[in-house]
Chain A
């Protein structure tokens, strides 16, 4: 399952990131595999999304969210 399939308010654990550019950027932002995330916002018309991770809120496009594999909790 990937991040774009998560429902609003649902929590999950990041398992891996398939896109290397996205992965490198997320590393800088402190969003690592194993991190606990929560989908907090969906922009009007469904894109982009915002997740809460490690104390900050990050916004990312649905397309990028698809490369992030997660395990819901």
Chain B
């Protein structure tokens, strides 16, 4: 947007960057992806005079020498900004409780001659550790404006915005090439790109993929020169730390250390205990599932009823005709099928955000690393796997911080086996068909227990297959597992709120589009068919005037429709799994996204329904097999269907993300075929064994 100022938030992971972002941008925030990547990009606006500020939250990174994909995105954004002047100002969020490490990246940004403001955050945590920082002196030493903030309490945010709007002269750079080779390299890049900054040019020399048309010429120029990027990083970092120590000696006063720091260690002793640690882990996830089932139940019923009511309203208030029909029986039930997920998605993301924000998730990685490693995974795989219970697409993106390529690939491949929130409505509907709502010992919901079972099935499958894959995929590099265990913090309610809000918006936006489109197509396919057949049925029923004849006519028409023809075509393949042609249609339509299943079922069973709209559960319970006349949803069929949905990869977005993250179609296709075969065979076994 012209006339606006672009700001980037940069900083180490766990420095409170996202909390500051939420405090700054509030409800204006939008999520998307960084161009050409799948890394989540959050932007928001701050209305200010004379110009509005557009803020981008860069993924947390430790230095300009990226170690993982996530860090790569931030480094690319920063270096890219040097050429195109994309960001007018960079707000560097410094963690006062770990200033030395924060200043490493900070001095690197200074040396890139980027317009910079330092937001000194977490001074309260620092004070608790006995660390006092003189912000004014720090500002003078760095020659960069420093604003003390408390992102969690939104303190200092106004002052920060004022500083961001003010222009400051660039501080002098401190970086100079340490030897002749480095100097030659930097000058070669300078010649090709026109960028004058020495430090930027040495960074670009190690990341030539960031260059556009100049790439080839730079590669040619530096090919003949000796340049050891690792030695360069070591020299540069050591020199920086030496200078940082010197600055800290005057800026930072430490007294009586440790005192409070022990608290985190004491909590750690319990949370990583070999008995209590695992017990607590199980307890937390057990309560998560109970919460999803019990807490989400009421809002979900309300949403279902509201959409039924809306359909009815449309039918009664609009003149009958094709448009009314599409809206009442195609679009509204389809939309309802999307919106009904929101309570569950919100609860799930609220939990995940709390676990992440408090620092507990890092401890889960810590206590499970050894086990995960045996299975070919990594302690950091736990987060994507658990996140896979929310959404595989989002979770595959979080694998970017797994440095090891093999462990990352396996994590990507097995994450979709975890039961994601899109499967939840499928499970919910099917479970409610075969088990009544009853309580064990008065408080354990049996339906919830069965649901937990489905999730366990997903967990076991993903772990078993990763074990298998660890023998099949070759290790190409050395692996290490080093991560920070952040200090325990209370969750910030605002962060939970925005996480719930953003994920819901994403879900309704992304899944909603597909689901509504699929519902409309399905409704057409279900309502129309070859003319001759339809005329024959109409002629047949034109003569009879019995009770129920309208319903029979409708169901015969559905069978004769294009959807029916299609379902019948694939019926022989799915009969052994216990499915009829209607389920066949649903399976096919949920190739786009699993959650379409419920929407499809609502649409399919709405076609030919009269005005008295029942809930989906009632419709399914009354569904009978047109061949045998027996109920369709018996226990074996429902279980077989649940197992099919547990294992199959019916999600176009996951296929797309796997393709992008693994750099080609190979693994995406392998994953899809493999999961489909596993799903088919397991459902076959379940149905045949039970019936």
Binding site for B on A (CB under 8 A): 19-30, 32, 40-41, 43-48, 50, 52, 54-61, 63-64
Could you tell me the distance between the alpha carbons of A11 and B482 in the complex, rounded to whole angstroms? 19
Which single member of A29, A43, A50, A57 contacts B101 (CB below 8 Å)?
A: A29
The residues in B between 355 and 390 inclusive whose CB is less than 8 angstroms from any CB of A are: 362, 365-367, 369-370, 373, 379
B265 in the interface, Cβ–Cβ < 8 Å?
yes
Could you tell me the distance between the alpha carbons of A55 and B122 in the complex, rounded to whole angstroms? 13
Contact B98 A55 (CB under 8 A): yes
B511 in the interface, Cβ–Cβ < 8 Å?
no
B22 in the interface, Cβ–Cβ < 8 Å?
no
Could you tell me the distance between the alpha carbons of A37 and B401 in the complex, rounded to whole angstroms? 25
User: A residues within 8 A CB of B367?
Assistant: 43-44
User: B residues within 8 A CB of A30?
Assistant: 98, 100-101, 104, 241
Could you tell me the distance between the alpha carbons of A22 and B367 in the complex, rounded to whole angstroms? 21
Contact B62 A47 (CB under 8 A): no
Which single member of A21, A28, A46, A52 contacts B480 (CB below 8 Å)?
A: A21
Could you tell me the distance between the alpha carbons of A56 and B129 in the complex, rounded to whole angstroms? 11
User: B residues within 8 A CB of A55?
Assistant: 97-98, 100, 129, 131
Contact B238 A32 (CB under 8 A): yes
Contact A48 B273 (CB under 8 A): no
Could you tell me the distance between the alpha carbons of A56 and B15 in the complex, rounded to whole angstroms? 12
Could you tell me the distance between the alpha carbons of A24 and B71 in the complex, rounded to whole angstroms? 14
What are 6 residue pairs bridging A and B, where the CB atoms are less than 8 Å apart in the complex? A41-B366, A50-B485, A57-B484, A59-B485, A64-B481, A64-B482
Question: In whole Å, how far is A3's beta carbon from the nearest beta carbon of chain B?
Answer: 12
Which single member of B62, B369, B478, B481 contacts A29 (CB below 8 Å)?
A: B62
User: A residues within 8 A CB of B233?
Assistant: 24, 27
Could you tell me the distance between the alpha carbons of A40 and B403 in the complex, rounded to whole angstroms? 24
User: B residues within 8 A CB of A44?
Assistant: 272-274, 277-278, 367, 370
- Chain B, residues 124-159, CB within 8 Å of chain A (1/0): the string is 000001010000000000000000000000000000
Contact A32 B241 (CB under 8 A): yes
Q: Which of A32, A54, A59, A60 has the most CB of B within 10 A?
A: A59
Contact B480 A41 (CB under 8 A): no
Q: Which 9 A-B pairs have the closest CB atoms?
A: A44-B274, A30-B101, A28-B62, A57-B485, A27-B237, A60-B482, A28-B63, A64-B480, A47-B370
Contact A54 B62 (CB under 8 A): no
B269 in the interface, Cβ–Cβ < 8 Å?
yes
B230 in the interface, Cβ–Cβ < 8 Å?
yes
Question: In whole Å, how far is A38's beta carbon from the nearest beta carbon of chain B?
Answer: 9
Question: In whole Å, how far is A73's beta carbon from the nearest beta carbon of chain B?
Answer: 16
User: A residues within 8 A CB of B370?
Assistant: 43-48
User: A residues within 8 A CB of B241?
Assistant: 30, 32
Contact B101 A61 (CB under 8 A): no
Contact B366 A50 (CB under 8 A): yes
Q: Which of A45, A47, A48 has the most CB of B within 10 A?
A: A48
Contact B482 A54 (CB under 8 A): no
Could you tell me the distance between the alpha carbons of A44 and B234 in the complex, rounded to whole angstroms? 34
User: A residues within 8 A CB of B478?
Assistant: 19, 21
Contact A61 B484 (CB under 8 A): no
User: A residues within 8 A CB of B272?
Assistant: 41, 43-44
The residues in B between 269 and 284 inclusive whose CB is less than 8 angstroms from any CB of A are: 269, 272-274, 277-278
